[in-house]
Copies of this chain bind each other. A is one copy, B any other.
Amino acid sequence: MAMLLKGKDAAEHVYADIRTRVEEWKKNGKQPALATLLVEGDPASAYYARSKQKVAEKLGVAFRLRSFPSTVTEEELLKVIEELNADEGVHGIMLELPLPRHLTAAAIEAAIAPAKDIDGVTPANKLAVFTGSGKGLHPATPQACIALLKHYGYALEGRNVTLVGRGQTVGLPLFHLLQREQATVTVCHSRTPDIASQLERADIAIVAVGKPNTITAKMVHRALTVVDAGINELADGSICGDAAADLSEAVSAFSPVPGGVGTLTTAMLFRNLMKAMDLQAEQKGAVKP
């Protein structure tokens, strides 16, 4: 039976750190606060906002939910982001996805102040992850994939990592973060003719395609570790990852969905909120605790 890489275990360690940092900020007279923009109409967006709210409450972080009817215009959202950018009592800003069809996520996200952009979606933060400047806030899901492996004691330097998926949200930024971990990375995608052969020499596979059964037991070897960053909703309403259920018997370790990467992603957002507070303090020349 393969070892389970559980997001919850890893997240608890992160949350313990964050709680300490939140207390320090409060002693210094600052209430850490996260604002999220929710355009009504999509159950997934609403679910993500609620999940964050619950975690915020546990951590002592103030949570400001800004809800908008599904008919809201881009201009109205941009105006609210401008207000939140200028508000010194708000330290992190997120836009919940997916949005209604008449709104373009990238155009709205680009307006977020980079130092408050806790999911690394602005052009400045995208460039930072690609160029490895060491500055900026990196997207949460790619960070969660790496943090999960590190929590379970995996060394990435010199290891062969096969990434399946090259999306803008997970695959590509993760490729760059893995460079900084000194892994040797192969990137597979929909036009890769034989993904199984690309897994032969891999120590670790990370899947982020958004399609169930992208990796099955037949494609893997016993020594492989699989990190599953996919979240797919099935017809019966249940959630599954990109890896097939039969994988559990065929590999040495894997992250379950739900309960793996996704769980840790929320923790990474709040870790970014702490980093965002440091960045904002630095920008103002203020002392951080």
List chain A positions with a Cβ less than 8 A from chain B: 123, 126-127, 130-131, 157-158, 166, 168, 172, 175-176, 179, 182, 184-189, 191-193, 197-198, 201
Residue in chain B with minimal CB distance to A166: B179
Knowing A184-B186, A197-B201 are in contact, say whether A191-B158 is a contact too (CB < 8 A).
Answer: yes
Q: Is the interface of A mostly helix, strand, loop or mixed?
A: mixed
Residue in chain B with minimal CB distance to A195: B184
Knowing A182-B191, A192-B184 are in contact, say whether A168-B131 is a contact too (CB < 8 A).
Answer: yes
Q: In the complex, which of the residues A182, A188, A191 has the most CB atoms of chain B within 10 Å of its own CB atom?
A: A191
Task: Flag if A191 contacts B130 (CB, 8 Å).
Answer: no
Residues of B within 8 A of A185 (CB): 186-187
Residue in chain B with minimal CB distance to A198: B184
Residues of B within 8 A of A191 (CB): 157-158, 182, 184
Knowing A130-B130, A131-B126, A172-B130 are in contact, say whether A189-B197 is a contact too (CB < 8 A).
Answer: no
Task: Flag if B188 contacts A184 (CB, 8 Å).
Answer: yes
State how many copies of this chain the complex holds: 2
Residue in chain B with minimal CB distance to A190: B182
Chain A to chain B contacts (Cβ below 8 Å), 15 pairs: A126-B127, A126-B130, A126-B131, A127-B130, A130-B172, A158-B191, A158-B193, A172-B176, A175-B175, A184-B187, A184-B189, A184-B191, A184-B198, A185-B186, A186-B186
State in angstroms the CA–CA spacing of A210 and B21 once bound together.
Answer: 44
Smallest Cβ distance from A112 to chain B, in angstroms?
A: 16
Residues of B within 8 A of A175 (CB): 175, 187
Knowing A126-B131, A131-B126, A172-B130 are in contact, say whether A179-B184 is a contact too (CB < 8 A).
Answer: no
Residues of B within 8 A of A176 (CB): 172
Residues of B within 8 A of A179 (CB): 166, 187, 189
Residues of B within 8 A of A127 (CB): 123, 126-127, 130
Smallest Cβ distance from A17 to chain B, in angstroms?
A: 28
Residues of B within 8 A of A172 (CB): 130, 176
Q: Which 5 A-B pairs have the closest CB atoms?
A: A182-B191, A186-B186, A130-B130, A184-B192, A158-B193
State in angstroms the CA–CA spacing of A179 and B176 once bound together.
Answer: 14
Residue in chain B with minimal CB distance to A184: B192
Residues of B within 8 A of A189 (CB): 179, 182, 184
Smallest Cβ distance from A131 to chain B, in angstroms?
A: 6
Knowing A130-B130, A131-B168 are in contact, say whether A158-B201 is a contact too (CB < 8 A).
Answer: no
Residues of B within 8 A of A198 (CB): 184
Smallest Cβ distance from A111 to chain B, in angstroms?
A: 16
Since A184-B188, A201-B201 are in contact, a sample of 5 more A-B pairs with Cβ atoms closer than 8 Å, ordered by chain A residue number, is: A158-B192, A166-B179, A172-B176, A175-B175, A184-B192
